[in-house]
Amino acid sequence: MIQNRYVLCCGLFASIGGLTFGYDQGVIANLLVMEDFQRQFPASPLQQGALTAVLELGALSGALISGAFSDSVSRGRSIGIACAVFCIGSTLQTVSGTLGQLSLGRLIGGVGIGSLSMLCPLYMSEISPPETRGSLLSIEQFSIVLGVVFGFWIGFFTRNISGSWSWRLPLAVQIIPGLLLAAGSFLLPASPRFLVSRNQINEAQLEAALIADQNGAPGTKRGSIWGRWALLFTEQYKTQTWIGILVMFFQQWTGINAVLYYAPFMMRSMGVRGDTVMLISSGFVSIMQFLSVIPAIIYIDRLGRRPLLMGGAIIMAFSHASIAALVWYGQGDWAAHRNIAWSAVSMIYLFTAGYGGSFGPVAWVLPNEIFPLTIRSQGVGLSTASNWCNNFLVGLITPSLISVSPAATYMLFSCGCVAAFFWSKYLVPETRGRSLEEMDTLFESAVGQEIAQRKQQVGHRS
Ligand SMILES: O[C@H]1[C@H](O)[C@@H](O)[C@H](O)[C@@H](O)[C@H]1O
């Protein structure tokens, strides 16, 4: 990857989008327990849940809206617009004085985040060569988790500032990456001519050439927006569409967010108290997620996507099942079962490591490499929407499940991981090292022909 510094720099820069996504997820855990925040926004448990969920619903619409419209303007311009929406939402959150304003800010910010979570990996996939596409796209996950780590620790350190700056400051900080990406987005779209001259013809060039070509060269007509959405479910493309939707479905039903959002709750039920709860649950869980994505970035293009998915699914299924057994055994009296409690905590870390090296990054890689150019924005938009939709559903049902039976909750997620294993083994084709053209043979579609034709057109015009 280092060999192609230009691609790496553009990819790294675009991955700032992931940072905004993770930051928002990381920061909320701390805000909800801050004194001044609770005084300013007294909220029932239901309202607290709604405050978390409203961002996910905004993000879900953001991903779908961008999927529909990002073909009308360049990828770079779309990223710029999404950043502007994100910054407006973040500013509103920072200055808000009522729960309504704060929720509106999170809704608007969510639309920006959802759009960025779809647009940035899409852009990254289009500029990267096949040999390093997996690693480059895994940087999206790296950025998301780096954002979670920053969000958590910034909130953790500002929580003792007196007055409303304790929570306004961490909310304001997120505007910085938003502004940075917005400013840089104007430089992002690569010039086809420039890349062709460097012998780096790939999807980014094709896209840029298509956008520049308002009338569309012969054979490049892309149909109406609705027509392209409908194409997703035709015989020719439905395999890719379902892989995109399901990889995000399984990512969420591994239970990662149940662990992230509700780990403090579980730690408390094990008798751990005070700041330590936050630290060892949210704080260290996110650090573990961050550390475990590093081997995935290094090995994803050597080992392939499927081995990572299958290996991760086994580790996660085992960890969840062990937690279920330990919790079931020890929950009656944690004080008498301290070792069991700490074994369960260590299984949470094992689960997170398994997730961080598999479904965490791979779910951001796969959807971005399997769709043909004609329907790529819509396909990636729908897959990303599946991420947010399932994220929302898991968040919605987990508290009720845990209140009924924590052990059964972990067993449910263990079953999700077992299903994810069989799905990866039997239904996911290996995309490692294949150029986007070669996806044809995998999916038996005409994608490659379309791309090859476009490349020729770009080559001729340059
Ligand atoms: O890949 C990300 C990441 O793992 C986040 O920590 C999680 O909160 C998201 O839901 C997921 O899509």
Ligand 1 centroid to Cα of residue 358, in Å, is 12
Q: Which residue is closest in CA terms to ligand 1's atom 8?
A: 257
pLDDT band at 210 (very low <50, low <70, confident <90, very high): very low
- Per-residue pLDDT at 16 exceeds 50: yes
How many angstroms separate the CA atoms of 175 and 112, rounded? 12
Of all residues in the chain, what percent carry a pLDDT higher than 70?
A: 82
Q: What is the mean pLDDT of residues 216-231?
A: 61
Residue 413: its H or E element: helix 406-427
pLDDT band at 214 (very low <50, low <70, confident <90, very high): very low
Q: How large is the ipTM?
A: 0.98
SS3 265: helix
Would the CB of 66 count as within 6 Å of ligand 1? Answer: no
Give, to the nearest 10 degrees, the angle between helix 305-330 and helix 338-356: 160
Q: What is the mean pLDDT of residues 264-268?
A: 69
Residue 89: per-residue pLDDT: 97
Ligand 1 centroid to Cα of residue 453, in Å, is 36
Q: How many Cα atoms are found within 13 Å in the side-chain-facing hemisphere of 141? A: 31
pLDDT band at 399 (very low <50, low <70, confident <90, very high): confident
Ligand 1 centroid to Cα of residue 186, in Å, is 27
The ranges assigned to domains in the chain are: 5-461
Would the CB of 148 count as within 6 Å of ligand 1? Answer: yes
Residue 262: per-residue pLDDT: 73
Q: Of the candidates 137, 222, 229, which has an alpha carbon nearest to the alpha carbon of residue 431?
A: 137
CB 425 within 8 A of CB 310: yes
- Give, for ligand 1, the residue of 251, 284, 297, 386 to mutate: max count of ligand atoms closer than 8 Å to Cβ: 251
Q: What is the mean pLDDT of residues 405-423?
A: 95
Nearest atom of ligand 1 to the alpha carbon of 252? 10
Low-confidence winner among 214-218, 233-237, 456-460 (lowest mean pLDDT): 214-218
More confident residue, 43 or 380: 380
Q: What is the DSSP letter of 4?
A: -
Q: What is the DSSP letter of 282?
A: I
pLDDT band at 461 (very low <50, low <70, confident <90, very high): very low
SS3 46: helix
Ligand 1 centroid to Cα of residue 147, in Å, is 10
CB 334 within 8 A of CB 341: yes
pLDDT band at 108 (very low <50, low <70, confident <90, very high): very high
How many angstroms separate the CA atoms of 222 and 322, rounded? 51
What architecture does CATH give domain 5-461?
Up-down Bundle (1.20)
Query: Which bin fits 435, alpha (ψ -120 to 50), beta or left (φ > 0)?
Result: beta
Would the CB of 362 count as within 6 Å of ligand 1? Answer: no
- Give, for ligand 1, the residue of 256, 348, 386, 413 to mutate: max count of ligand atoms closer than 8 Å to Cβ: 256
Q: Give residue-wise pLDDT tens across range 333-391.
A: 777 888 888 898 899 999 999 999 999 999 999 999 998 877 888 999 999 999 999 99
Ligand 1 centroid to Cα of residue 415, in Å, is 19
Nearest atom of ligand 1 to the alpha carbon of 248? 12
Phi, psi (deg, nearest 5) at residue 400: -65, -40
Would the CB of 52 count as within 6 Å of ligand 1? Answer: no
More confident residue, 335 or 303: 303
Ligand 1 centroid to Cα of residue 359, in Å, is 9
How many angstroms separate the CA atoms of 33 and 51, rounded? 13
Residue 434: per-residue pLDDT: 79
Cα 80 to Cα 86, 108, 112, 268: the distances in Å are 10, 15, 10, 42
Would the CB of 25 count as within 6 Å of ligand 1? Answer: yes
Ligand 1 centroid to Cα of residue 360, in Å, is 6
Q: Which two tokens stand for residue 7?
A: 């691609």
Residue 129: per-residue pLDDT: 78
Ligand 1 centroid to Cα of residue 94, in Å, is 24
Q: Which residue is closest in CA terms to ligand 1's atom 11?
A: 360
Q: Give residue-wise pLDDT tens across range 126-158.
A: 777 788 889 989 999 999 999 999 998 898 889
- Per-residue pLDDT at 116 exceeds 80: yes
Would the CB of 292 count as within 6 Å of ligand 1? Answer: no
Residue 218: per-residue pLDDT: 35
Residue 274: per-residue pLDDT: 67
Nearest atom of ligand 1 to the alpha carbon of 145? 6
pLDDT band at 400 (very low <50, low <70, confident <90, very high): confident
Torsion over CA: 394, 396, 401, 407 (sign) = positive
Q: Give residue-wise pLDDT tens across range 268-292.
A: 666 666 666 666 767 888 899 999 9
Residue 240: per-residue pLDDT: 94
Residue 270: per-residue pLDDT: 61
Q: Of the candidates 177, 205, 179, 201, which has an alpha carbon nearest to the alpha carbon of residue 191?
A: 205
Ligand 1 centroid to Cα of residue 161, in Å, is 29
pLDDT band at 193 (very low <50, low <70, confident <90, very high): very low
Taking all residues of the chain, what is their mean pLDDT, rounded to a whole number?
84
- Per-residue pLDDT at 319 exceeds 80: yes
Q: Which residue is closest in CA terms to ligand 1's atom 9?
A: 257
The alpha-carbon radius of gyration of the chain (Å, integer) is 22
Ligand 1 centroid to Cα of residue 17, in Å, is 13
Would the CB of 387 count as within 6 Å of ligand 1? Answer: yes
Q: What is the mean pLDDT of residues 149-175?
A: 91
Residue 332: per-residue pLDDT: 76
Q: What is the mean pLDDT of residues 75-95?
A: 94
More confident residue, 347 or 399: 347
Nearest atom of ligand 1 to the alpha carbon of 391? 10
- Per-residue pLDDT at 209 exceeds 80: no
Q: Of the candidates 13, 308, 296, 1, which has an alpha carbon nearest to the alpha carbon of residue 130?
A: 1
Would the CB of 112 count as within 6 Å of ligand 1? Answer: no
**Sequence letter at residue 379:** G
